[in-house]
Structures are given as structure tokens and as C-alpha cells.
A and B are shown apart, each in its own frame.
Chain A
Amino acid sequence: MNWLKNFVRPKLRELVGGQKEVPENLWHKCGSCGQMIFHRDLEKYLHVCHHCGHHMRLGATGRLNLLFDEDGFEIIMLPKAIIDPLKFRDLRRYSDRLKDARAKTGDDDALKVGFGKIKGNNVVIAALDFSFMGGSMGLAVGEGLLIAAREAVSRHAPLVVVPSSGGARMQEGIHSLMQLARTTIAVDEVKQAGLPYIVVLTDPTTGGVTASFAMLGDIAIAEPGSVIGFAGLRVIEQTIRETLPDGFQRAEYLLDHGMIDMVVPRAQLRKTLARVIDLLMNKTRDPSQVLKGIEPDLIREESAGDALPLDAHTDKADKPLPPDIELDNISTGVIGHGS
């Protein structure tokens, strides 16, 4: 019995990629169209509903796994920030809320930073985790972004930031407001070093996060359907006392209004980032090389196997590789669906 429990089961677990023997939820309901999605399909399609194209939220670890090349990346250790600087208490103590968020996510705070490659290009990626207190920005996130920026400068690599955040962390009061200035300094250091600063806006990116680093990218990319805006929908409705237009504050709305460069489906993010980084960083390249297809990824449609499932690092061989998700399906599927 012990032999089975202690040896066979862990071995089996390893084989299936560290997952539980029986996944708790075999089926997920799409938050947009309501269709059921089998958990394998969810992973295969990078947490994008294959019925309607709805892009579900991804955690920071999921983001780093998604964007970096499959040969791995280095997690950048972030410094400790002051915990609960105001000794804030609303219905609960902030320190208790933090403890819960840490227990739930296994992370210290809402930002994760990694150094690695996207299709061979060195890059520092900083991703916010909405599941950690709504991805809210306080001292720790501000400090983390400064570290990410300096890492990018010292390694002469572009900085890619993937926000997913409700805004400033109210429980840190004025300190969280000051992060608007501090994170702006962070990304400005990257720009002043002549390095690209690229933002991938994901659902949701609102409040103080948009009023600082999230809207300052040299290149601004957004995932389809993401809510991106300064003021919350309810606040706007209460102020103007009228209903908001369809698709208001969605990625496509921002594109229409000239606020971002492009809306890119999740499966094509790596390809797009790689191309943009290559163009900004490698200013000259032998044209014949490109034409001969030495950089095929950059001039052709990405091959089916290119966008890897999230768990690609562990069990790539066993899984069917996802097809590219058609841009058209996604944009028509998402517009007009409330969340």
C-alpha cells in the first residue's frame, strides 16, 4: 500500500505533468457564450473558447509560459516591499487579505517577472496576475516593475509588460497612487536606454494601471475583447446617467479610437511580439536572408505547431498541437458579448 502510495502515484503524477490524478473540473463553462469546454481543449486553445473566441484570463505564470520559448526562462526574484504600510482595515484587515491571496496563488504579490527568449529574441516579461487581489498595484508591483525595467536595461533586452489589473490597490492608499509615478519612471528608463517597451493589454486593464505604464508602450497590443479603460463602467454610468455603447472600453473600441496599435489573438501573440522585437532591435538584416526564408516565422503565416499549449513544456509530445485560431472568428465572436 505504501509502495503504491509513495512511489507509484508520484511517478504517475510526474508522467501526467504534475496534475492531480483526476482533474476536479473536466468541463469549463465559457463565461461569454456559455458553451462547455473540455479541459484538454481549454489548454489546447490557450484558454480561448473555441466556440466563440472569448479570451479567458490567464495567471501570471500562465502568461510567462505562454509567451516565452519552450526551453524555459529565468524567474527574476523581486525584492520585498513594505507590507500593509497604512495598517489598513476595511471589512477585513488588509494583512489578512494579503495572506489569503498568497495562500491561494502561492505568490508574494501580483507581479511576476521572467527573463528568457521569444523565438530566440532576449526579452524581459513582467505579467500581472488578476487572481492576486485583482492584479492591483501597490508598493510590491511598483517595485517589481522597477526591477523588471532595470533587468531589461542591464541585459539590453526589450521589456514586455502584460497588465491584468483593476488598478491601484486601495488598501495602500496614497502609496499605491505614487506607483503611477514610480512605474512611469521604470518604463521610461527602458525607453531612455533605447530599448523597446511593449505592452500587451489583457482583460481587464483599468484605473491607475492604465493611467501610467500600461498606456505608455512604444507598441501597444491588446487581446481581443479585453476591457481597457480609466474609469470603471459603473462610475461612468452613474456620472452621465446613460447606458454605455456596445463594445465600450473593449480592445476593439480602443483600436478604433487610435489608442492601441493592434488587437492580436492569444495564439498569435508570440509571433507578433517576436516580429516587432526583431524589427525594433535588429535594424539591419541581409534582405536575401529574409527572402530565402531563413526567418520563415517572420514572413509567413505561423505554422500550426507554433502556438504551444500552456503545458507545452512538460508534455508537448503527447498533446495535439493547436491550430491557429482564425482572427476573424475571434473578433466576430467577442464583440458585443458582455462579460
Chain B
Amino acid sequence: MHNYLDFEKPIAELEGKIEELRHLSSSNGVNIADEVGKLQSKVDRLLVTTYAKLSPWQKTQVARHHDRPHAVDYIQGWITDFTPLAGDRAFSDDNAIIGGLGRFWGHSVVVIGTEKGVDTESRVKHNFGMAKPEGYRKAVRLMKMADNFGLPIITLVDTPGAYPGIDAEARGQAEAIARSIETSLNLKVPLISVVIGEGGSGGAIALAVGNNVQMLEHSIYSVISPEGCASILWRDGNLAETAATALRLTAQDLFELGIIDNVIIEPVGGAHRERNQIIEDTGNSIKKALEELVQHEGTVLKSQRRDKFLAMGKRGLG
């Protein structure tokens, strides 16, 4: 059974009917294959048309979908010999950011990702993917280690944003994010970042200053959440839908604006419908970028990354 989003109501109804029919046939022995086939193709068509024209707000909902694969799923899917590493060596271990060593298509790599958790218990454990300073400091530690050993880095971004709390502020949330950006910009190893769900503001870019930055088709990446933007600029948090459109936060927008390098196409109906498929496709897309990047010298990688960000926002300027 799927968790349906508001705009998926017609799909939910059809799939509900299919379920009912299947139930009937198994109890009555009635042959309903034809009927089910017809309904199924109707569902398929509806999924294609619905997902081909998702609004920015609908994409925001898909990006936050509970069944969407998370960082842990991708790591499980791609990485062999995964060896999780913990702690910032200063204060604590932050489970909102997971990371470690592992092997990706033969390459020894460091993987770092924000993890939201899947049920109440794990969501609390991972603080809903909202990292504290110790999380970013752990990321910095792992990045520096990767740099030291010449290991490529893969980051997976899926966060509503950095945690806004007293303890986080007291320990220097802003400084921790700034250091993570600074560290990313000085790496002499390939850094590939993929926004797999929500790319929430500073907490996201802290892990997304990559040589190659990709986004899943229905993921979002924004300076502020649509809700936050609506409540500040429209003084009405209910206008999140309007704000989502104005912010241009979809993968397609960001590709067009020259912010990201690639959009990874999701299975019809979103990543959550075909989890294995999207995990495989994302892995292949990273592999392609990685195999190109590992051919370059460290200094080239560093300057390519910086030049890429320096060139942003200058298109069309005389």
C-alpha cells in the first residue's frame, strides 16, 4: 500500500479499485484479469501524465515523500564494505549526518549523507535530517580524511535544513556550515553531490559544493523552504505553493539556471514507486561523473570546483 499525496487522489482511487477486485477474485474465484489490466493501464497513463507536469509545490511534496529512498538506502544499494564512521572528535556524534568509508564500483570512497529516518524512532534518532554543528564538523573531518588519502567523496543531500535550536547556536551552527563549505572548496579529490530529496538552504549547500552536483528529477533545492519564504515575504505561511513557484526550486529550474550539472530521471510516479530502479540509476549517474573526475590532478579538481561556482549567476551579463 502506498502513502498517497493529495494530488494523487485519482491514482489512489484507481489503485484502490484494483486492490478490491483482486480481493474479490481471490475469494470468489472470478476471473477479473481483463478488468484489472484495463484499470492498471489507466493508472499507468495517469501516473505518466500527473508526474510529467508536477507543479513546484507538488514536487516539494514528492521530494519529502515518506517512502522516498533515503541516504541509507542508496548506501546499502551501492556501497560494499561500508564502514560507518562517527563523531566530530570535539563534542558528539550527530546521526542527522551519516558517513563512512566504502567501495563504490571498485573505488574506495568516502560517503557522507543527511539522513531523515523512516519511522518515528529513527526520525528522532536522525533528528529528521536536521544536522547540528557536530554533524557538519563530522563531515569536515571525513572530507579532510578523504583528501588526505586521495579518496573521492560522494555526498547525498536530503535535509529540511540545519537544526534551528539553542544548543546548535551555542556550538556555532553557522561557523560549522561555513567551515564545511570552506573545506569542500579546498579539496583535491573529486566531490560529487546528489540532492536526493530536499536540499534545504545552508544545511544543504554545506554538503553540496561539488565538482559535480546532480539532482533527482523530483527533488528540490532552495535558499529557504517554501513555507518559510511564504511566511516572511507574503506574511502568510499558507501561501507555500505560491512561494515554491517563485523560488524556482525544482531540479529542472536549477539545471536551467546553471546551478546543477545533471538531472537524474526518476521512475514514473516518483522514486518511491521504484526504489531499486532509482538507486541503480543514481549510482550509474554518479559512476559516470566519478570516472571522468578521477582522471584529473588534485589541483585541477580544486580549481574546477571553484571556477564552477564563480561562474554561477553571471550568464547573460554583458
Contacts and interface: CB of A to CB of B under 8 A. Distances in A.
Interface of A: 80-82, 85-86, 88-91, 139, 142, 146, 168, 170-178, 180-182, 184-185, 188, 207-208, 210-216, 229-232, 235-236, 239-240, 244-245, 248-249, 253, 257-259
Interface centre among B169, B224, B253, B310 (most CB of A within 10 A): B169
- Interface band, chain B: 35 or more
Interface stretch (B46-54, B74-82, B170-178): B170-178
A19 B310 CA distance: 42
Contacts of A213: 178
A82 B317 contact: yes
B232 A170 contact: yes
B202 to A, nearest CB: 4
A193 to B, nearest CB: 14
B178 to A, nearest CB: 4
Contact of A173 (B164, B165, B173, B222): B222
Contacts of B221: 174, 177
Contact of A174 (B179, B232, B254): B254
Contacts of B249: 173-174
Contact of B166 (A174, A215, A248): A248
B182 interface: yes
Q: Which of A80, A146, A236 has the most CB of B within 10 A?
A: A236
A217 B243 CA distance: 34
Interface of B: 162-166, 168-175, 177-179, 181-182, 184-186, 201-202, 205-206, 209, 221-224, 228-229, 232-235, 243, 246-249, 253-254, 257, 259, 306, 309-310, 312-317
13 contacts: A82-B315, A173-B223, A178-B312, A180-B181, A210-B174, A211-B181, A215-B174, A216-B179, A229-B169, A229-B174, A230-B173, A231-B173, A259-B172
A181 B206 CA distance: 9
Contact of A175 (B232, B306, B312): B312
Contacts of A174: 221-223, 247-249, 253-254, 257, 259
Nearest to B306: A185
- The interface centre, meaning the residue of A184, A208, A239, A249 with most chain B CB atoms within 10 A of its CB, is A184
Contact of A82 (B170, B177, B233, B313): B313
B233 A91 contact: yes
B91 to A, nearest CB: 12
B246 A177 contact: no
Contacts of A208: 201-202, 223
B164 A181 contact: no
B317 A81 contact: yes
A146 B117 CA distance: 39
B309 A230 contact: no
Contacts of A244: 166
A178 to B, nearest CB: 5
Given A174-B257, A177-B202, A182-B312, A231 B178 contact: no
B110 to A, nearest CB: 20
B166 A212 contact: no
Contacts of A253: 170
A182 B174 CA distance: 16
Nearest to A259: B172
Contacts of A81: 313, 317
A204 to B, nearest CB: 12
Contact of B209 (A91, A181, A214, A236): A181
A81 B313 CA distance: 8
B178 A173 contact: no
Given A170-B224, A173-B222, A230 B313 contact: no
A177 B201 contact: yes
The 6 A-B pairs with the shortest beta carbon distances in the complex, nearest first, are A231-B164, A210-B174, A90-B233, A230-B174, A177-B223, A211-B202
B315 to A, nearest CB: 8
Given A178-B313, A211-B173, 5 more contacts: A170-B223, A170-B247, A231-B173, A257-B172, A258-B172
B259 A181 contact: no
A214 to B, nearest CB: 7
A174 B179 CA distance: 20
